[in-house]
Amino acid sequence: MNNIVHLVDPTSGMDVLDTIAMAVNGVPGHHHVLIFGHNGWLGAAIEAGIPKENITWSRTLARWDPTMGRALTQWVKENNPTHIHAWGYWGIAAASRLRGFSGGRIAFIQSTPTAGQFRQLRRDMTRAVWLFITPWQCVHSAMLAGGMPHNNVARVSPAGWLAPVTKALPANLRRSLGMQTREGPVIFLGGWSEESIRHDIGIWAVGIVAESNADLWALIRNDDVPRKEAVNPYAGYQSFARTLKDPQLVTIAPACYTWGQLAGLADYFLFVPRRAAGVSSLLAAMAMGKPIISARTDQVCELLENGTSALLAPPDDPRELAARLNALIENKNLAAKIGAGAKAAYEDLARPELFSSQLDSIHGQLTGDPGLKQAIQIVS
C-alpha cells in the first residue's frame, strides 16, 4: 500500500489545503500531512476536511526554515514513505536535499513560477528527480518553456471541490451576521486572502451596482487568522467599504463558515483574481450552479466560457465587473443560464473522482519508475 507524506509550507497558499484534502480522502493509501506554518494553518487544514489524526503541525518562520528539512528527514526515517508530495517551494527544496529516499517525488504547481522560483526548481532538479503536476494548461506550457523536461511535467484535472463535514448554519445566517435588515441579493466575493485576489476591486464593483440597487449585500469570508506578526487584511477591506455611499454594504463572515456554506447562501458569485490564484471557492460556486462574474485570467478561461458559464471582465476593472453583475441581476433568465453552464463545466472538468483516479495512477507509475524514464500517462 502506498504511504504518502504531504509537505505543506507557507509558499503553498492555504487554498491548496482543499486539494490536499481531496488527495487524503480520495486516493488509496496511507496519507500523512506535515504542515509548517503559523497555527492558522492547522485550523484551516482541519476545516478543509483533512482528518486531524493525519496531520503533524510545526510552527515555522515566514521564510525558509532549516527545521523543515530536519523534521522531514526524521519523519522519513521513522515512517518509510513510498512517495513525497510537496505542495510548496520550500517543501520541494527540503525534499530535494533528502538523502536515502528512493521513492517518487511529486510537486503540485498552482501558478506559473517566477524567475526566482524557476531558478530554485532547476537547482532542486540537480539534486533529485521530480514530477511536477498542475491542473492548468497555461502553467504546463510555462514549465516546459522554462526548461523543465517533458517527462517531468504532467497536467491533471482540477481537483474539484470536497464539501467537508461542518456544523449546520444558524437558522437565520443573515441575522447572525448582523444583516437582518437587508432583503436584497447576496454577492459572495470568493478567493483566499493573497496578493493575486483583489477583494478591493470586487467591493468597488459591488458599490457601483449598489448605487441603483440599495438592498445588495456583499459577503467576504475571513480566511485569515489574526496574529501578532501580521496584519489582518480584512480590516482594510472593511475600512475601504466604509468609503462607499453605503458603509454597511460589506459583511466579513468568520472563517468558521466554509466556502460551500457561504456560496450556498449567495445569489451571485464574484471572483476577482489578478493572475493565477487558488480556486476552491470558485469550484464550490460552480458545483452549486451559482451565476458567476469573474475577472478574465488564463486560469479562469480554462474553467469558464464567457457568456456560457460565466460573465468575464478585464482584470482590475471595477466598472466592467459592475456592468456584468448588473446584467445578471436585471436578467434572471441569463443568470439561470450562466449558473447552469457553470455547473455543467464543473461536472465536465473538475469531477473529484477524476482527480483522485489520476493521482492514484501517478503514484502507481512512479512506484515502478521513480526516475521518470517514461512519461506519465494521465487517466482521462
Calpha distance 380→378 (Å, rounded): 6
Q: Give the three cell numbers for residue 259.
A: 466556502
**52 pLDDT more than 80:** yes
Lowest average pLDDT, out of 77-81, 175-179, 327-331, goes to: 175-179
| 166 CB-near residues (< 8 Å, 6+ apart) | 47, 258, 260, 261
Query: Considering the domain 3-160+351-368 in this protein, what is its CATH number?
Result: 3.40.50.2000
pLDDT at 179: 63
Percentage of the chain lying above the pLDDT 70 cut:
90
Q: H/E/C letters for each residue in 205-231?
A: HHHHHHCCCCCCEEEEECCCCCECCEC
Calpha distance 29→38 (Å, rounded): 28
pLDDT at 178: 67
In the DSSP assignment, the letter for residue 70 is H
Lowest average pLDDT, out of 140-154, 172-186, 216-230, goes to: 216-230
Mean residue pLDDT across the chain: 87
- Cβ atoms 227, 37 nearer than 8 A: no
Helices (H), 257-331: 259-265, 280-287, 298-303, 318-330
Between residues 259 and 77, the one the model is more confident about: 77
CATH class of 173-349: alpha beta
Band (pLDDT 50/70/90 cuts) for residue 379 is confident
Calpha distance 65→324 (Å, rounded): 45
Q: How does strand 104-108 pair with strand 131-134?
A: parallel
Q: What confidence tens digit (pLDDT) does each residue in 285-328 have?
A: 999 999 999 999 999 999 999 999 999 999 999 999 999 999 99
In the DSSP assignment, the letter for residue 310 is B
Band (pLDDT 50/70/90 cuts) for residue 167 is low
Band (pLDDT 50/70/90 cuts) for residue 86 is very high
pLDDT at 310: 98
Q: What confidence tens digit (pLDDT) does each residue in 111-166 have?
A: 889 999 999 999 999 999 999 999 999 999 999 999 999 999 999 999 877 666 56
Q: Where in the chain is the domain with CATH 3.40.50.2000?
A: 3-160+351-368, 173-349
User: Position of cell 494548461?
Assistant: 137
